Amino acid sequence: MTATRDDVARLAKVSSATVSYVINDGPRPVSDETKTKVLEAIHQLGYQPNAVARNLRMQRTFTIGLVIPDTHNPYFAEVVSGIEETAFNNGYKVILLHSSYNTEKEFQFVELLRTERVDGVIWIPASSNVEPLKELALSELPTVVFDRVGAQADLQALVTDNYHGGYLATRHLIELGHKRIGYISRPVELSHSQGRLRGYMDALAEAQIPFDPELIIKGGFLLDDGRRALFSLLDLPCAPTGVFTYNDMMAIGVLRGAFERGLNVPKDLSVVGFDDISQAAFTCPALTTIHLDKFEMGRRSAILLMALINKEIPDPKLTQPAEVRLITRETTGVAPPV
């Protein structure tokens, strides 16, 4: 027969209420000696608490909703890994939802997360449209906006130092003698994309290199988007000798496009990516990029969300912009002679 809480209480020679206090860690304190007796009885009898009933009493489901825009980019796989592992280690399950960069799906997800009674949400927006986030804020679900500024929806955000990353990438190319530097950006006005663009522009200004708007190409998100954006840059009357891309997926596409146009990287064209996905070190040549610890960012976002769920004051370090650094590999070199 299945053991009950009363069976545990009889074996441990305590009240059923005391067994409940041990299982639920409250609301009344239990001495270490009594707690040990209860835990030993639970182990001896193989007692399994009713998780559904426990969650109903606590008005908690111990479930986190996670909304991401893309399942193809390895960047998100590393972020999700950090979130899921941290959540699991703290007793939470994760419901993963994929928006495919579709705002309409995001609105549907808000209602779905309410229906599933998740305890909190980590949200990576698909676009610059903040209406789904405002809708989520009205639900009063604890929410962390990941790598996007959430101020417009009055939500807590965890971000990368995108500005510094854009600055480092561009300055690296400038220090190698490049003066015509293209930037392949995202086609939407998200805060992190704008931060990388500002870093690019400020590095040019610092070096007294005139800004040329023709060198800004709005690409997509994936491999072929970078390839096609490079072709647009190469078809300019004065093509760039260096290219900085919004992410590594685009940069890998740029490498393919350069090969198809008969260009040698880095002799004819230098390329810098952003994210330092695991594949970046295995391209040929290996990709110079801006590194950020994606697993750690996922871990921090999960810890931040659990603090919000538990109505705790988050550690200020959790909300500081995540540091980035330049990883120099084989796709950048001295600018070719004019």
Q: What are the pLDDT tens digits along the chain (338 aa)?
A: 678 888 899 999 998 888 888 877 666 788 888 989 998 988 888 887 765 555 545 567 899 999 999 888 899 999 999 999 999 999 899 999 999 889 899 999 999 998 888 999 999 988 878 888 888 888 889 999 998 765 555 788 888 999 999 999 999 999 999 999 999 998 767 778 889 999 999 999 999 999 999 999 998 778 999 999 999 999 999 999 999 999 999 999 999 999 999 999 999 999 999 999 999 999 999 999 999 999 999 999 999 999 999 988 888 888 888 999 999 999 999 999 87
Two tokens at 39? Answer: 């835990």
Q: What one-letter code names the amino acid at 204?
A: L
Q: Are 288 and 328 in contact (CB under 8 A)?
A: yes
Q: Which residues, at least 6 apart from 41, have a Cβ–Cβ distance to it below 8 Å?
A: 8, 11, 12, 47
> What span, in angstroms and rounded, lies between the C-alpha atoms of 197 and 211?
12
Two tokens at 137? Answer: 């804020």
> What span, in angstroms and rounded, lies between the C-alpha atoms of 327 and 289?
5
Q: Are 107 and 85 in contact (CB under 8 A)?
A: no
> What span, in angstroms and rounded, lies between the C-alpha atoms of 273 and 259?
17
Q: Which residue has the tokens 């663009």?
A: 197
173 exposure class (CB count in 10 Å sphere: 0-12, 13-18, 19+): buried
Peptide bond just before 27 cis, omega within 30 deg: yes
DSSP β-bridge partners for residue 97 = 67
What pTM value is reported for the model?
0.81
Domains of the chain (ranges plus CATH)?
5-58 (1.10.260.40), 63-160+294-319 (3.40.50.2300), 162-292 (3.40.50.2300)
Q: What angle do CA 79, 289, 285 make, to 5 degrees?
A: 115
